[in-house]
Amino acid sequence: MKLWDKGFSTDKKIDIFTVGNDRELDLILAKYDVLGSIAHAKMLHKMEILSDKEINIVVAKLNQILQDIANGNFTIEDAFEDVHSKVEFLLTEALGDTGKKIHTARSRNDQVLVDVHLYLKDEIADIKKQIKSLFDVLIAKADEHKEVLLPGYTHLQVAMPSSFGLWFSSYAESLIDDVYMLNAAYKIADQNPLGSAAGYGSSFPIDRAMTTKLLGFETLKYNVVAAQMSRGKTEKALAFGMSAVAGTLSKFAMDICLYMSQNFNFVSFPDELTTGSSIMPHKKNPDVFELIRGKCNSIQALPYELTLITNNLPSGYQRDLQLLKASILPAIQTLKSCLELLLFSIQNVQVNTKILEDSKYDYLFTVEEVNKLVQDGVAFRDAYKMVGARVEKGEFKPNKEVNHTHIGSIGNLCLEEIQEKMEKAL
């Protein structure tokens, strides 16, 4: 069944090419399609297109479909082009002519827009919850290990003292920036496009304010053409937010891969979180973190993929937009799985508390010595040269006591302030 069927069939090859994997992807959107239909039906009832009796049986049948979806009993067979045609078929099969009325004053164009907007709102909320869980663990780990020093690197060269408190909480605070990006995407998605129909509105006196309220949108896309132009723009906004999260996770995963290596040996994980080699019995490979890094790097390409699909399209609906679902929906699930695995792993991280006993880290403290001389009255450039001369002669002896007190430093992590910032962001 096709909603645009005029009584003749398309070539099978064309059907396969144009539908693609839409049926599979639409199963993810099915719940939202039914919720949109319920709101639309109630609005049609207000318009007196559906009678009191008809609205009751339509909503009852839609709720039954909604329950079937929740129970995993909803399918979209090859005979149907998409979720919209399957839902309308079920209504018509059960209710006859009454079911045929559901498509009055709307198009598949605004149906899929509603589905995607509602779906993205829920997924953004879920991603933010997962980010908050990871954030809480990072803050807890920062507090737990705030006294344990860690080598800081610039240019991959030993540089200055850092700490596990700084390291863990740096990623916690970075996640706040990512939440800001997701909030922007949510704001864009939280606009009701229903009522734009095929992109140019309807001659029916529909009540778009009513469906906006029923569907829980903050506001609506007032201009019907602008509503249609949100297809692609909304997905791209979320893609940029997801890319920000993925960038943070990828960098963190890379740090972990380095820090787990024998050359660093800063952190370790239980054996069940590592993998072995088929020929090297000593290996404990960070496969989980390498895959998080790779998957998140792939997600960072998503905004540009969506841009290339949409950047030269005119206003109005184009079939190219169908391709967006195949990119954004799997990427959302991939990001959520990366957040889940990283959360599980970090809860089990084991920190090396004796890293700085290795003499190769003695030069971490050259800046500390320069600063001490300056505080004793030596000009900075002279102090720099004095310490540099000691290093060259092999005479530098580090004082490994670190006393950093300014905001955001080793001795003043501001964990409570960072937590407060996250709460405001959420």
**DSSP codes of every residue in 368-417:** HHHHHHHHTT--HHHHHHHHHHHHHHT-----------STTBTTB--HHH
Quote the pLDDT of residue 20: 56
Quote the pLDDT of residue 83: 93
Quote the pLDDT of residue 199: 93
SS3 label, residue 71:
coil
Quote the pLDDT of residue 277: 55
Measured distance CA(420)–CA(214) in Å, rounded = 33
Reference 245, options 326, 132, 164; nearest CA is: 132
Measured distance CA(313)–CA(199) in Å, rounded = 14
**Count of domains in the chain?**
3
Q: List the CATH number of the domain containing 30.
A: 1.10.275.10
Quote the pLDDT of residue 79: 86
Task: Give the mean pLDDT of the chain.
Answer: 92
SS3 label, residue 24:
helix
**Whether 386 and 405 share a structural domain:** yes
Q: In 96-223, which ranges are continuous DSSP H helix?
A: 97-100, 108-144, 164-189, 208-214
Quote the pLDDT of residue 81: 86
Helical (H) or strand (E) element with 160: strand 157-163
Quote the pLDDT of residue 17: 44
Q: pTM for this one?
A: 0.91
Q: List the CATH number of the domain containing 159.
A: 1.20.200.10
Reference 37, options 96, 105, 130, 93; nearest CA is: 105
CA 12 to chain CA mean position, Å: 37
Quote the pLDDT of residue 271: 78
Does 5 map to a domain?
A: no
Enclosing domain of residue 42: 12-103
Asked which of 61, 77, 103 is the last residue of a domain, the reply is: 103
**Whether 87 and 178 share a structural domain:** no
Does 328 map to a domain?
A: yes
Measured distance CA(223)–CA(229) in Å, rounded = 10
Question: Are residues 38 and 59 in contact, defined by beta-carbon separation less than 8 angstroms?
Answer: yes
Measured distance CA(340)–CA(295) in Å, rounded = 13
**Whether 156 and 173 share a structural domain:** yes
Quote the pLDDT of residue 51: 97
- Tens-place pLDDT, residues 67-97: 999 999 999 998 898 999 999 999 999 999 9
**Whether 124 and 97 share a structural domain:** no
Per-residue pLDDT of the chain (426 residues; tens, 9 = 90+): 455 454 545 554 544 544 456 788 899 999 999 999 999 999 999 999 999 999 999 999 999 999 999 999 999 998 898 999 999 999 999 999 999 999 999 999 999 999 999 999 999 999 999 999 999 999 999 999 999 999 999 999 999 999 999 999 999 999 999 999 999 999 999 999 999 999 999 999 999 999 999 999 999 999 999 999 999 999 999 999 999 999 999 999 999 999 999 899 999 888 777 666 556 666 677 889 999 999 999 999 999 999 999 999 999 888 889 999 999 999 999 999 999 999 999 999 999 999 999 999 999 999 999 999 999 999 999 999 999 999 999 999 999 989 999 999 999 999 999 999 999 999
**Whether 243 and 323 share a structural domain:** yes
**Whether 295 and 207 share a structural domain:** yes
Measured distance CA(232)–CA(406) in Å, rounded = 45
**Whether 212 and 308 share a structural domain:** yes
**Whether 318 and 379 share a structural domain:** no
**Whether 337 and 393 share a structural domain:** no
**Whether 311 and 209 share a structural domain:** yes
β-strand partners of 275: 285
**Whether 91 and 219 share a structural domain:** no
SS3 label, residue 277:
coil
Active site residues: 155, 277
